[in-house]
Structures are given as C-alpha cells and as structure tokens.
Structure 1
Amino acid sequence: MKVKKVLISQPKPSTDKSPYFDIAEKYQLQLTFRPFIRVEGLDAKEFRLQKINIQDYTAVVFTAKVAIDHFFALCEEFRIIMPETMKYFCISEAVALYLQKYIVYRKRKIFFSTTGKMDGLSAALTKHNKEKYIVPVSDVHSEDLTAVLDERKVNYTKAIMYRTVSNEFTEEEILSYDMLIFFSPAGIVSLLKNAPNFDQGERAIGCFGASTAKAVKDAGLRLDCEAPLPGVPSMTAAFEAFIKENHKAK
C-alpha cells in the first residue's frame, strides 16, 4: 500500500518549520496530528488518598516537565510554598531549566543529569543521601525511574500526581489511515482500547523509543518504521526514510 494518509499521535508542531511538513509536501502526504492519549493531573481530594504530605520532604526528583507542572499544581491547590531549602534533582538540564516557570532558579539547590538518564544523578544522590525524597510519577510508569534511588539507598516515596487517559477514536477513523505513528506504550494501549478488533493488514506502524517498539510487538503488531536506530536518530528521519522506500515500491 502506498502511504498517503498518516496519523501522528502527538500534538501538532507549534511552528511551520517542522520537518514533518517538509516531508508531507515532498511526498504529497496528508498528515493528522492527534494524540491517542492525554495527561490529567490528580486533584487534591484524589491525591490525599495516598496519605502523602508534600511538606514532609526535603528533596524532589523530576523525570519530566509534566511532572513539574502537576507537582506545582498540587502545591498551589494545597497552598504550599516551597521553602528555599528544597533540593531539586532533574533527569536533564532541559527539565531543570523548566523549573524557572515556578521558582527563582538561581536561588535554589538544583542538580541535573548530564546524560538525560537517572544514572547521571548517582553522584548527587550519594552526596545528598540524608534527604527525604518525593518522586512525582504517572499512574503508569517504569520501575527504571527509581532503580538508581534504590541502588543509592536513598529515602524516597513515589507520589502519583498525574495519569494517562485514552482519547476517543472510532475504529472507522483509525482504519482510514495508511500509517500510524506512536510515541509511547500508552498509545498502543489506547489504540487497542478504541479498536479492539484492529486488523493491521498493509497499514504501516511507526514508533519512537524502545519501550514503544516493545509494546507494538507485544500487541502482535508489525513494526515498519522505528527510531532511534543507528543512522536514524529522530522519528522524522525514520519516517522520511520509510516513506521514500514506500513510494518507490510499485
């Protein structure tokens, strides 16, 4: 099947300079940007059920910008003001810099991983192993996030502050696309929830990330386009390479 209509399961790029639009123009594709999932924050009433008091903690570990948003949303709802002594441990510099949206960055004790992974925080966690850590997470999360905390034997509590919810699609709508591109395992769960009798057929499936690729294969689906891989570091690079070959085929 020659791919012409593609569903990309993430929000539409905020700028026209996205490579997706260049690919669409070059190969005359019809692209639709619509996530299969959305993230919702827990409200104060729901959060209280976990019997966690945010003010009991002296440090917080952020693994994503969305975790920062929902952490501070709950703090606002509880009318909690973060003390200047609070320590922030972030999975990357980009996540750390995002804190500027909520705190005076230069006046706080902020540490970030230079590898973009939790293991890059090992030294800082060891140095500050007497702190009491809170780790905001989604209702569905990988245990890899806290493996380093376990290794360093730090005192931490995982706090569910947001959840992943499926967006509604009709099966007819899903089947109208020649290709579907996913960016998280939760997207695959949403696909099968919305279309329990989904028959892939010649329809192409692309994905970004090893965990998403595993979810595609575990669901018994065929993975046609994957990133990152050697030579194809981004989803757009993998997508263009796939479309180029697809349009060559007779």
Structure 2
Amino acid sequence: MATIEEFLSLSVRPSQDLSALTSEHVENFIHTLGRRMLRQTLQHKVAHLRAFLRFCGDRGETARGLERIHTPRTYRGELPPRALGWEVIEKLLASVARTDYLGLRDHAILHLMAYYGLRPSEIAELTLDAINWKRRTLRAEQRKTRSTLVLPLADQTIEVLDRYIADGRPCDLVTNFLFAKVRSPVGGLTSWGICDIFTKRARQSGLPLDGVSSYALRHSFAMRLLGRGVGVKTIGDLLGHHSLESTCVYLRIETEMLRTVALPVPDIAAH
C-alpha cells in the first residue's frame, strides 16, 4: 500500500478523482523511484503499481492501459544481495512498539524473516497449525522447491510468537492464517502486504533503510550463517534454493568483504 499511497499523493490532488491519472503521471513516478533505488527493488514497486492500475482500469475508474508499465530489466548475478548489519536489524526490531495487535504482528513477521530467512510468501502461508508448541518447531512450505521445512524454534522466537497469539491476535478471527489483515475482508496477509509492512516499519524506524527491500533480512540471515561457518549446501536448503548457484552468490559477497580487510602483500624483491 505504501507504493500506491506515494503514487497517488504525487499524481492526484485531493480534489481530483482517479480519472485524472495519465500515462505521464505513471512515467514520472517510475522515473522518480528509479533515481533512489535499485532496479531489483523498482521491479517490485512496478508490480504493485501495475496490479493497482489494472484493477482501477477494470472498474472504469481510470483510463485503460495505464498498467502497461515498462519493467526495468535485471540480470541474474548483476548485483550481489544486499545484507544488513546485525546491529541494524536489532535496532529495526526494537523500533516496533509491541503495544497493540499491529505492533505484535509486525514484530513477529520481521523476527521470522530476520532469524529464519523466510520469504514473504512463506510467511503469508503460515497457519496456526504450523507451530508445534510441544516439539518447539515451525513448519514452513517452500514454494520454489515444493518442500516442507521444519525449523526448530529458539526460546526468543517462542516468546515472540506466544505473546503475539496470546496478547495480540484477536480470538474471534475467522481465519487459520497465523498473520491476518485487520481490515475487511478478513483473511491472511499477502506476500505484497508483508513487503509493505517491512517498508513501513523501516521508514518509521528512522534507520538509513531507504530503498532496502524486505529480502535484505533474508540475505542477512544467510550471511550470518555463512559467517558462523555453516556450509553452503545447508544454507541453500534452509533458504529453499533450487541450486547451489543461487546460494554461491553469498560467497561472492564474503570474498568482497575479505578484500576490503586484506593486508597488503609485502614486496619481497625489495629486501
């Protein structure tokens, strides 16, 4: 929703309705976004905007064809994944006030992305039955590999989920999804909704996270495991990667980091 709200605030005056939108408004907005974020992030923004404009066009609220937005092209391996320092992630989590349903829900979502590397789509599909309190595990369905991942829950995660369900999640919600919307129609959050939650909470935190997507938490999880000596194959299995090629991108980051701290090689010939 954050993308749509920004688009409308920049393109339509309060006194105007959606019929005032033109292709020029769309192009100017995409150009504005493109100056401050990576193309990979811009792709997600364009997808949100395209879906909104298609919906409005089908309802006759805007001119048809506005959703035909040129998507910026990206190439596999063009840029290494962006990871955040763990101290930044801890500050982001701490910035979410757990005083109401939204705070407890959003904090739990960010916690699962940061500590378990779950994709927004995987979090969106979690149900209440996915938590086995007796065995202290969480069952996540990985779409890309079509496999089920059973994750052990740490004490901190147990506390986060227990508090969210006991004190935050309304008892009368008529849905089995773990994370639900607060507005009608009642149901589980979508993966886009979860991405928007990250964007909103990152903005509210005051941290330098402009242009950072929710996947940065997943990448940070992978880098943390790599730094602790966990094998690439194991990391790939936890992330639900199809092939080791996807996981080896993180080795590229690690190599670049080592280059920045490498000591200069002494000139032996000079002695």
What interval of TM-score do these two structures reach, taking the shorter chain for normalisation? Answer: under 0.3
Q: Report the structure, 1 or 2, having the larger helix content.
A: 2
TM-score normalised by structure 2 residue count: 0.23
TM-score in terms of structure 1 length: 0.24
